[in-house]
Structure 1
Amino acid sequence: MRRRLLALVCVSASLLGGCGLMPDSETQRRTVTVWLMRHSASQDYLDRFTEEFESEHAGIELDIRIQEWTGIGEKVQQALRRGGTEGTDGPDVIEVGNTQVATYAEGDRLVDLTLESMRDWGRDDWLPGLAEPGQWGSQQYGIPWYAANRVVIYRKDLFREAGITEPPKNQDEWLTATEELNTGKQQGIYLAGQDWYTLAGFIWEEGGELATERSGVWRGTLDSPAALRGMDFYRRLQALGDGPVDSDEEHPPQAGVFAEGRVAQIVAVPGLARAILQQNPELEGKLGYFPVPGKESGTPGAVFTGGSDLVVPAKTDARDAATEVVAALTGARWNTDLARTMNYVPNKADLADSVAEEEGVAAMAAGAAQGRATPSTPRWSAVEADNPIKEYMTKVLTGADPGAEAERAAERITEALAFD
């Protein structure tokens, strides 16, 4: 539609001496359609960004359209195939989940932004948990926007009563403290048996992987010695509470379990504290946060980093203008503004000071420096659809042989990652 309108403008303008002679005309303004997800940014933030961006880019007009997460995958796929839905212009910039970039990049459907990211955007300084899944092959298609990851939410009053004066600094101290907190009347930690995102962090901390790629072929690696050590740490920690071994952190929702008042710790994003306090206002002022401990003191443990990247569809007819929008949203000025506004982690570790005043976000930012993401392959969604990691965890926690079960789960992951 935009191409047809511009063509008509140029035809009309040619009668007056040529389209290129009308640089100040309103018809020369370029509209950039931006798809952002609901709740990713406040309306006030978007209003401020739009006003300032348009004032600094006289030839660009923003059309920001808020999308729902439900069903977004197929909607994005359709937009990438057709440039938009029937009767509408397609998006020029899209916010996507960081782990979904490879799915959309496959088949040259996104603009390769490698040169811009290396030359102008400080690619080497991005959080790895956002930057790495934004790549497909050796090219950068997803540009990190914001991050969120798990921390330990704990009861400050229960720690004091147990004589624990400060948060544990490494995994050994964490196990010791959790054991002291695990009494007959309370759980030292509530950790569901199938919380595989938390397990992934422990595996990465040991130097293991969920899957690895060689010569274009992916293979599950839960049976590696490092991955088995990560599972063993999970088993020891999970036993210091009464988390169900056959369900994940949402069944039942762990916020509700924590709100009952008999749990000392959970592993969750800091924002879950709001749900806890809604269900038990008496916990106001009693909650604290610390990064998931690593093996060595002073270095937070590896964690799964969730969040969003920005991509530019290959079918856009406004590539340069769309790139300007991405540069602005992911640059230090507006990225730190978003982090403060929404309690996110900025896309670079050296911007973490912008959220240092918020205890939960500061803990999250510290952990994000060690953040990772799921394997960067379009087929990973097939693994999660029938997740063999969850079944593997339950079997180990109920006494099955870890090595045998890990090998079986690794084989299932390999099968799911195989291309047809």
Structure 2
Amino acid sequence: MKKRILPLVALGVTATLGLAACAGDSGDSGSGDGADGEGKTLNVWIMQGTNPDSTAFLDEVAAAFEEETGAKVEFEEVQWADAHDRFVTSIAGGTTPDIAETGTTWTAEFADAGALLPIDEYVDAEDGLRDDLVEGLEVAGTYDEELYGMPWYAGVRSIIYRADIFEELGLEAPKTWDDIVTAGEAIKAAHPEIMPFPVPGDAEFQVYPWVWGAGGEIATLDGDTWTSELDSAESQEGIQFYTDLATKHGFSSAGATTWKETDLRDAFVAGNVAMMLSGSWTPNAILEANPDLEGKLGAAVIPGKDGDIAPSVLGGSHLSIFNTTENADLAWQLVDLMTTGEFAEKWADETGYFPGVQSAMEEALASTDPLVAPFAQQMVEGGASVPVTPNFGAVQAKKTTNAMMQSILSGQKDVETATKDAATEMTELLNQ
């Protein structure tokens, strides 16, 4: 099977957009009759931890849904850090909610466990909805050729940089790997107090764009057998370039070896970082934390080895319906209300994420905002997924990629040895 399970996101938009930014019906997507919800209540889990305060938004959704159907909605916010264990426990005990936000790497796992309802019939009953789904999220929500997760929102990582420092030094946003090194050397010389491009060792999704940008892959599927390709020549080249930013060029620090993405963001907010990979949802958070950076930020797509766009992990969430629900039709009505039309656009506006349906993305795709447009281009032309398999959760739990990175950054292993060890472990975990 072709390397990247998820093809690059194709939204069918015009080329000019290249210059631009995780089961009823609503009036917006318009299917037929809605379910009668009088006297009924839906229980819904929404993740919290990286999302902004969503209380007002969810209250508005609940009010609109009750007016439309007569049913009440009880939203419960669950911390991302605790969510997976809570899902596993509730699935085992048959105490799952009617609907829950499921991260894109979890949907296949829960579907494989038999906990989710397929929603293809609902989606296909809505006029034009199937073709309106963002392809990357649809693929990530599909398991064994059935759709179990309705695309809700997505985010993608690109490069965020200090535009004021680049302007001061006469630098342009990097378009190639060589540009990153050239800019980093100039920043290092002019501002030795600033890390030009830190390499966080505990940030898995920061690694894969360099693998893909060199033509490598995380893993491939042949029949029923997965094989990790982190040790291919192409993958090794990408990982070598990325780790060299720290070990060869000195653009990072020893402390960054154990950093998570949040640590990287905090260092950027503090003014200690000039370039970093970060998500489309972070510019607003950065400016909120440090208003002095207003007007001093820039964003750019991640360059591949040869100057094209390196794919970046398209993260985000689905809304999934659990098979314990007694009100599947009503549950779909709420899912549809939240993921299409007015509420899809409102959620995107409030969070900085991208909607899960193309029709709600028009504003973002047409944007000329320098902190929106590059992320839109990255998503359209370079959105990709980790292997879509229930077992990838085991890879993440084992921190296979993170351990590989830390062994290289700390000097314990060279790239060849570290990638071979990681590939062996990943292959074993993917085929359990």
- 1:405 pairs with 2:405: no
**267, 290, 295: which one pairs with 1:257?**
267
Contact 1:129–1:306 under 8 Å retained in 2: no
Distance 1:272 1:27 in 2: 38
Q: Per the alignment, in what secondary structure is the counterpart of residue 230 of structure 2? A: coil
Tell me the amino acid that sits aligned with residue 188 of structure 1. P
For 2:429, the equivalent position in structure 1 comes to 416
Distance 2:285 2:56 in 1: 23
For 1:285, the equivalent position in structure 2 comes to 295
Distance 2:81 2:407 in 1: 32
Query: What whole-Å deviation, never above 9, does each CA across 1:48-78 have from its counterpart, x for those lacking one?
Result: 22222333334x3323222233422232233
TM-score normalised according to structure 2 size = 0.79
1:320 is displaced (CA, Å) by 0.8
**106, 110, 126: which one pairs with 2:116?**
110
Distance 1:245 1:218 in 2: 34
Distance 1:351 1:27 in 2: 27
Tell me the amino acid that sits aligned with residue 353 of structure 1. E
**164, 183, 189: which one pairs with 1:183?**
189
Q: Per the alignment, in what secondary structure is the counterpart of residue 195 of structure 2? A: coil
Distance 1:249 1:302 in 2: 22
For 2:231, the equivalent position in structure 1 comes to 223
Moved more, 40-49 or 134-143: 40-49
- 1:267 pairs with 2:277: yes
Distance 2:176 2:361 in 1: 22
Distance 1:270 1:325 in 2: 26
Tell me the amino acid that sits aligned with residue 75 of structure 1. R
- 1:80 pairs with 2:80: no
- 1:174 pairs with 2:180: yes
1:395 is displaced (CA, Å) by 4.0
- 1:196 pairs with 2:204: yes
Distance 1:409 1:276, change over 3 A: same
Q: Per the alignment, in what secondary structure is the counterpart of residue 324 of structure 2? A: coil
For 2:326, the equivalent position in structure 1 comes to 317
Larger Rg: 1
Give the percent of matched residue pairs that are identical in Structure 1 and Structure 2.
Answer: 28
Contact 1:92–1:322 under 8 Å retained in 2: yes
Contact 2:132–2:357 under 8 Å retained in 1: yes
For 2:162, the equivalent position in structure 1 comes to 155
- 1:15-414 to structure 2, matched below 5 A, reads 28-38=38-48, 39=51, 42-58=54-70, 60-84=71-95, 90-118=96-124, 120=126, 122-164=129-171, 166-183=172-189, 185=192, 186-238=194-246, 239=249, 241-244=251-254, 247-250=257-260, 253-273=263-283, 276=286, 281-295=291-305, 300-349=309-358, 351-355=360-364, 356=367, 359-369=370-380, 370-397=382-409, 398=411, 400-414=413-427
1:346 is displaced (CA, Å) by 1.5
Q: Per the alignment, in what secondary structure is the counterpart of residue 254 of structure 2? A: coil
Contact 1:153–1:270 under 8 Å retained in 2: no
1:93 is displaced (CA, Å) by 0.9
1:252 is displaced (CA, Å) by 8.6
Contact 1:154–1:266 under 8 Å retained in 2: yes
1:240 is displaced (CA, Å) by 5.1
TM-score normalised according to structure 1 size = 0.81
Contact 1:205–1:294 under 8 Å retained in 2: yes
Tell me the amino acid that sits aligned with residue 400 of structure 2. P
**Count of aligned residue pairs for this structure pair:** 386
For 1:4, the equivalent position in structure 2 comes to none
